[in-house]
Every structure is written in C-alpha cells, then in structure tokens.
C-alpha cells in the first residue's frame, strides 16, 4: 500500500465510498445529503493542510485522509484528521496506515498534539484503532450524535500528545 498526495482526479474514486459513509449517518457529523461538489470542497483542504489517498499496487484508491489544523490562532499548534476507508477494503489495515501517516505528518509539521473532536462512541473499531496508536478519550459529549439506529450517543474527544 502506498499513501500519496490526493489529486483532483482521485475524487472520482473517493466520492462513491465518501457518499456511502456520509449518507449512512453512523460515523461522521457531515450533512447526510452532502452533494458531490460540496463534499469535494469540504474534503480537499488547502495547504498547509493535506489530503492523501492510500492506493494498492494497481493504483486503486482504498481510503483517504484529510489532515488539518484543529484550531486557528493560539490553538493552531494542534492538528486533527478525518479518515475514510472504502468499505470494500475495511479490515485490511488501511485505516491504521492512514492514521499512522497523519500522526507522523503532524509530528514532522511541528504540531504539539492531535485532537479528534467528534469520534462517535458507537464507532468502536475507530475508537479501538485510535487508542492502539496512543490516543486517549479525554471527554465525551453525552448524546452529541444522533445515530440512525442507536439513537442519541456520545461523541468522544480524543487526544494524543506528539
């Protein structure tokens, strides 16, 4: 697996799984009806932030990550990231590779910490992955997320010092 900078041409491969994940409404706080053009504008953040894709040996996009400053101004020393893995490739280490890549990007870019603001507590695979990489749940916003089948569930705030 190779992780490389995403190009605008990659959006054609990202959009189908991006749309599926967002429309399911189980893991992200994005609008469920987010359209293709708006979604691309939300995902493709400007430098110094980054968007990358994980690709296999044939060049197929397996997943993507958006890495960015979590806050502005005097909080700009904290990074954040969002990950999406094509469900057809889940369980193959793509999410772990993207997360580890983003932590290294944040560290080498001079950030002092990473913070995830809204990890849905029912997204147990993501929580377990982040914890295995050194993130800690530092708080949970009770009923901060309306899950389509679980009802109102908490949103974890997760942190890792770099």
User: Residue 43 burial (CB < 10 Å; 0-12/13-18/19+)?
Assistant: buried
What is this structure's pTM?
0.95
64 in Cβ contact with 51 (< 8 Å): yes
Quote the pLDDT of residue 147. Answer: 98
> For residue 72, what are the CA distances in angstroms to 22, 54, 77, 82?
26, 28, 8, 17
Number of Cβ within 10 Å of residue 57's Cβ equals 7
* Domain spans of the chain, in order of start: 1-113
Quote the pLDDT of residue 2. Answer: 97
Quote the pLDDT of residue 7. Answer: 97
| Residue 7 to residue 5: CA distance in whole angstroms | 6
- CATH architecture assigned to 1-113: 3-Layer(aba) Sandwich (3.40)
14 in Cβ contact with 60 (< 8 Å): no
Quote the pLDDT of residue 154. Answer: 98
Quote the pLDDT of residue 65. Answer: 98
Q: What is the chain's pLDDT, residue by residue, as a tens digit (162 residues)?
A: 999 999 999 999 999 999 999 999 999 999 999 999 999 999 999 988 999 999 999 999 999 999 999 999 999 999 999 999 999 999 999 999 999 999 999 999 999 999 999 999 999 999 999 999 999 999 999 999 999 999 999 999 999 999
Quote the pLDDT of residue 66. Answer: 98
If you count DSSP H runs as helices and E runs as strands, how many of each does the chain have, helices first? 4, 7
Three-state DSSP class for residue 73: helix
């Amino acid at each position: 697996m190779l992780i490389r900078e995403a190009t605008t041409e990659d959006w054609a491969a990202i959009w189908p799984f991006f749309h599926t994940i967002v429309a399911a409404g189980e893991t992200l706080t994005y609008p469920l009806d987010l359209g293709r053009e708006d979604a691309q504008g939300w995902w493709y953040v400007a430098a110094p932030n980054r968007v990358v894709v994980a690709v296999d040996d044939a060049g197929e996009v397996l997943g993507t990550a958006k890495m960015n400053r979590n806050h502005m101004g005097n909080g700009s020393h904290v990074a954040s990231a969002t990950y999406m893995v094509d469900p057809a490739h889940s369980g193959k280490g793509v999410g772990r590779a993207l997360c580890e890549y983003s932590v290294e990007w944040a560290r080498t870019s001079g950030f002092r910490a990473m913070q995830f603001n809204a990890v849905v507590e029912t997204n147990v695979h993501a929580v377990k992955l982040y914890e295995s990489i050194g993130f800690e749940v530092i708080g949970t916003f009770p009923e901060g997320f309306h899950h389509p089948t679980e009802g109102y569930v908490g949103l974890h705030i997760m942190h890792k010092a770099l």
